[in-house]
Amino acid sequence: MPGAMVIIPHEVWLRIFELVDSTAALRCVVLACRKFYNLGTEALVRHISWRSTEIAMNHLDFWERNPSKAYFVRSVYFALSPNNESADNYPRIFGCIQSFSRLEHMKLAFGSLPDVLYPTLQRLPSLTHLELQSCVIPPLPPFYPYSFPSTDTPEPIQLTKLTLSKMRCFTVSFASYLPNLSAFETDSIGIQLPVDISAQLSSLSLTLHGAIGDIQPRLDVVLLRMPALVHLDVSIATFGHQAQQTTATVSQHPSPILPMLRTLSAPWPVAGHLLPGAPALTHLRVASPIPKPSDAVWLLERLQGGGSPLRGVALYLHTWDDEVLLAAVRCLSDCEMLGIVYQRGGPSDEFLFDLGIQHLPLMNTLHTLRLFALPPVEPIRIPTPRFVWDANTGEASVMEDWFVDDDDNSTAASSDSDPEAAAAEAEAKKEEEAQEARVQTEKTVTLRECVHAWTRYNPLLKRVQLGREGEKRTWAKGKRLGDGRGWETDEDEDTDAVWPHSYAAAD
């Protein structure tokens, strides 16, 4: 219809263009007509990625010809030259970035940052998030910020969030000129901010590398300088979803006092150590396996004697134990969201049935319950190199296909030598998978029946997830319907949207 494009508002077209994943496809769309060019170009330039200085220089001509398009840019990623081969081009590139008056997020990676970084930050009034990765921060020039000729009346840097990762320096002196900084993210506990800036932070995200027991005392020193923290997220670098298990115990040293802390996500035993100093805590997430069920029960009993009632709790158990969940029901009567993740074991069907009828009704405000096991991880197998002996030279060389492991080779050999055996093996494997699918389906039906049986006893419970993370057919999910109609199952709903992985986020 010719009039369809006239009827549809510009905001709808912009939203449609934003949903196009392929940049190449969007470039083709904007060539369809003048209207699509004017609207689609905004979506194309909203997020800029310059993965090298050469790419950035190639794009500068476009921005010089179309200065009005700079208004649409919201984020920029620029990878500098690691060895500063193209440092002479940085003033022109950063001069272009200064024209992005509505820029909100800027990420700079690799190499040494030029001095022009500081006036650039001053001239971006909408910039709220600066991310630096593997960079060398230049020292502040003398008499900053008045040292730059064009800054007669310097504007304060408006950053509210600073992210540093894989940095080559440990003192961030320019942070003294960030009066609005409230959130800080880093992967090094050794990076230091000025004392006055640390005291005003409300959010800290820290990714640590190493043993938890060695880091805990250093973490206390860092937190003592941040009494205004509201959100704290401490994580240990892991491989996949297998979090690091520790045998460390809760420190007996006094906990740092964090009177305004509301959300805490930390590994065990850091979470247990910080609890006494956080009387206003409302959301807690233990991000690494608690080694013993008795430790989890101790943690829950400690929560019961806290200040404000907890609204959300997520625990990570090494081994499932029914007593942990019963302790949670007993100690968290005012909890609204409860999640328990476990690596080994699991609750029985009988326990789950009794849980919703006898125990969950004691939690008066619970509306979300999540109990699931992490999927098993296949062990990493290092293949055995295969060597070929050369009788003429007396040397051995590695075969080109040595990456094929022993099990794959033996299977391939047996298949080639006996086709009937290979067919029988494939049929047996297919039948085994079918049998496993039937068992999982029966388990899902049982879990769903269990959830439906809870309806009369838990009027406020709206979301339930039981089963195994990563295997959809083993889940029993439901949402409560109005007018007393019971529950319906969310078959095709996006799991990430319904079940956020972090229960530590406050409303």
Q: Is the pLDDT of residue 499 over 50?
A: no
**Residue 33 resides in a domain:** yes
Q: Is the pLDDT of residue 383 over 70?
A: no
Q: Is the pLDDT of residue 71 over 70?
A: yes
What's residue 481's pLDDT? 42
Between residues 132 and 490, the one the model is more confident about: 132
| Residue 91 pLDDT grade (very low, low, confident, very high; cuts 50, 70, 90) | very high
**Residue 301 resides in a domain:** no
- CA 26 to CA 194: how far, in whole Å? 45
CB 325 within 8 A of CB 298: no
Rounded to the nearest integer, the mean pLDDT of the chain is 77
SS (H, E, C) 195-250: HHHHHHCCEEEEEECCCHHHHHHHHHHHHHCCCCCCEEEEEECCECCECCCCCCCC
Q: Residues of the chain with pLDDT > 90: what percent?
A: 30
**What one-letter code names the amino acid at 69?**
K
- Describe the chain by its helix, strand, coil percentages, rounded to 5: 40, 20, 45
In 365-454 the beta strands, taken as DSSP E runs, fall at: 368-373, 387-390, 395-398
What's residue 228's pLDDT? 94
What's residue 154's pLDDT? 55
User: What domain count does the chain have?
Assistant: 1
- Token digits for 407? 């099990």
| Residue 457 pLDDT grade (very low, low, confident, very high; cuts 50, 70, 90) | confident
**Residue 146 resides in a domain:** no
Least confident of 125-139, 219-233, 280-294, 478-492: 478-492
- What's the CA angle centered on 80, arms 78 and 82, to 5 degrees? 150
Question: Cα dihedral sign for 20, 24, 26, 29?
Answer: negative
Between residues 482 and 160, the one the model is more confident about: 160
CB 160 within 8 A of CB 183: yes
Q: Is the pLDDT of residue 34 over 90?
A: no
- Token digits for 180? 């609005």
Which has the closest alpha carbon to 304: 341, 330, 274, 270? 330
Q: Is the pLDDT of residue 474 over 50?
A: no
Q: Is the pLDDT of residue 201 over 50?
A: yes
Which residue segment(s) compose the domain that 8 sits in? 1-45
Mean pLDDT of 379-389: 48
**Residue 6 resides in a domain:** yes
| Residue 145 pLDDT grade (very low, low, confident, very high; cuts 50, 70, 90) | low
Least confident of 48-52, 228-232, 243-247: 243-247
Mean pLDDT of 351-366: 89
**Residue 103 resides in a domain:** no
Strand partners, 231: 203, 263
What's residue 90's pLDDT? 92
Judged by DSSP in three states, 130 sits in strand
**Residue 201 resides in a domain:** no
CB 39 within 8 A of CB 17: yes
**Residue 458 resides in a domain:** no
- What's the CA angle centered on 191, arms 187 and 195, to 5 degrees? 130
Mean pLDDT of 327-348: 91
The predicted model scores a pTM of 0.76
**Residue 27 resides in a domain:** yes
What's residue 158's pLDDT? 87
- Token digits for 192? 């230091």
